[in-house]
Structure 1
Amino acid sequence: MSLSIVLLFFLNACICVKACEVGWVQFKTNCYMFSQTTSTWGEAESICNAFHSKLAEPMTNEEAEFLISHSQNQAGEFWLGISDIIEEDRWIYSSNQQPILVNKFHPSQPNGYTGSGCVAVWKSFHGLWADEPCSRHYGFICQKPPESPGNIIG
């Protein structure tokens, strides 16, 4: 009797485990998708929203280092969900307009002043951040929480 209760509890726990969809990479409590296409920052934000996600917003040094490291295995630059579009030199997360908690700008950055209001992981800076004109076409990183197994297709 007690074995069946333990087994039932174990099966229930296994069913509730959350995971990332195919094509997404899990790190801690989030899933990330490194795009294979390029777009402007605004288009990237819309594409991520279509996937029920947002442009990646690193909230910890560990998360920022993961994005930097993983981006180095990819081709090109990647947009993050950080900008100073609303107020010059006030770098905020695009989803909540709160000031960034992590700063991984390359020592020579930000340097664009009013012409460069969006942040990209920059390959030639070994993944450190650069401020870039939002109209440039780069890859992008989407972020969302893992899905429950019943929601995963594939």
Structure 2
Amino acid sequence: MIFLILLPILFASLVLSEENNRLSRSLDAGKTDPLTWMILNQLQASQTTLSKLDNKLDTKLSKLSQRLTDVEKMTGYKKQFDTLTNQLNDVETKLHAYSGKMSDLQNDINKINQGIKNKCNAGWKKFNNCCYMFRYDRLSWQQAKRECENNNSYLVKIESSTENRWISSEITVSAKATHGQIWTGLNDLIREGHFTWVNDHSSVGYSNWANHEPSNYGGSEHCVTMHTNGLSTWNDQTCSYKTGYICEK
């Protein structure tokens, strides 16, 4: 397109140059003829006008060339912009893929953490979603409570007959022979006759009291044990009594 515009301009310049040469020769020849001299003067004036037009055309040609250069630069910038856009799209695609991998990794971490959470530490036994530790060193109820707390746990809370039977079955034969009772977390230390669990102070729901229990014998039985005789019945006992205990977490 630019070439088609420039071609007539270049042709006009060549014509003007040739016309200048011819006119110069004619001026020399026409000095002896007044009419010819007048015509030649008019032709020279026309030549001057054409020269000015030629200069204007040169100026426009220069501007058109500059515009062409600017267009070429803009074309180069557009190519660079397109390249950067494609690179950005590639980065976004990779970022999306990495986000998916990060999500999968986080899911794996959550599963591992859940597995760790559901796994009991060494020395602990699992039942349902809780871990239990059976200890047979003889301690008072308050001492046993502190020992459980030191192990980030609490004296056992028994909430069903199934749990009660399982706990009884896990007490060792030797402990059953030497410990007639073992501490639980049930007590009525806050209000006589109102038994609650030590970990959350909730009222007792399920219970497995022995016959005639709780009795509060002597007015001083405020902490609850489980019998280890296989019946797994409960008994209120003086809190200073020393026996084994069960921690839960």
TM range (shorter): 0.7 to 0.9
Please report the RMSD computed on the Cα atoms of aligned residues, expressed in angstroms: 2.2
Counterpart in the other structure of 2:158 = 58
Q: Does 1:42 align with 2:146?
A: no
Q: Aligned equivalents of 2:129 and 2:208: distance in 1?
A: 21
- For residue 64 of structure 1, what is the amino acid of its counterpart? N
Distance apart, 1:111 and its partner CA = 1.6
Q: Aligned equivalents of 1:22 and 1:42: distance in 2?
A: 24
- For residue 139 of structure 1, what is the amino acid of its counterpart? G
The CA deviation string for residues 46-101 of structure 1, in whole angstroms up to 9 with x for no partner, is: 00000000000112232222222223645112100000111111111112222111
Counterpart in the other structure of 1:33 = 133
Equivalent of 1:105, from 184, 209, 213?
209
- For residue 82 of structure 1, what is the amino acid of its counterpart? L
Q: Aligned equivalents of 1:127 and 1:37: distance in 2?
A: 19
- For residue 234 of structure 2, what is the amino acid of its counterpart? W
Give % identity.
25
Q: Judging changes above 3 Å, is the alpha-carbon distance between structure 1 residues 98 and 9 closer, same or farther for their aligned structure 2 residues? A: closer
Q: Aligned equivalents of 2:174 and 2:221: distance in 1?
A: 23
Equivalent of 1:119, from 224, 234, 237?
224
Q: Does 1:21 align with 2:121?
A: yes
Q: Please say which structure displays the higher CA radius of gyration.
A: 2
Equivalent of 2:235, from 127, 130, 151?
130
Q: Aligned equivalents of 2:125 and 2:186: distance in 1?
A: 20
Q: Judging changes above 3 Å, is the alpha-carbon distance between structure 1 residues 10 and 96 closer, same or farther for their aligned structure 2 residues? A: closer
Distance apart, 1:102 and its partner CA = 1.2
Instruction: Give the TM-score taking structure 2 as reference length.
Output: 0.51
The farther-off stretch of 50-59 and 125-134 is 125-134
Structure 1: which 5+ residue stretches go unaligned? Answer: 145-154
Q: Runs in 1 of length 4+ with deviation above 4 angstroms?
A: 7-14
Structure 2: which 5+ residue stretches go unaligned? Answer: 1-100
Greater relative contact order, per chain length (Cα 8 Å cut-off, separation 6+):
1
Corresponding residue pairs, total: 139
Q: Aligned equivalents of 2:123 and 2:192: distance in 1?
A: 35
Counterpart in the other structure of 1:149 = none
Q: Aligned equivalents of 1:125 and 1:86: distance in 2?
A: 30
Q: Aligned equivalents of 1:126 and 1:61: distance in 2?
A: 11
- For residue 79 of structure 1, what is the amino acid of its counterpart? W
Which structure carries more helix by proportion?
2
Contact 2:186–2:197 under 8 Å retained in 1: yes
Q: Secondary structure at the match of 1:89?
A: coil
Instruction: Give the TM-score taking structure 1 as reference length.
Output: 0.79
Counterpart in the other structure of 1:79 = 183
Distance apart, 1:118 and its partner CA = 0.5
Q: Judging changes above 3 Å, is the alpha-carbon distance between structure 1 residues 72 and 110 closer, same or farther for their aligned structure 2 residues? A: farther
Distance apart, 1:122 and its partner CA = 1.2
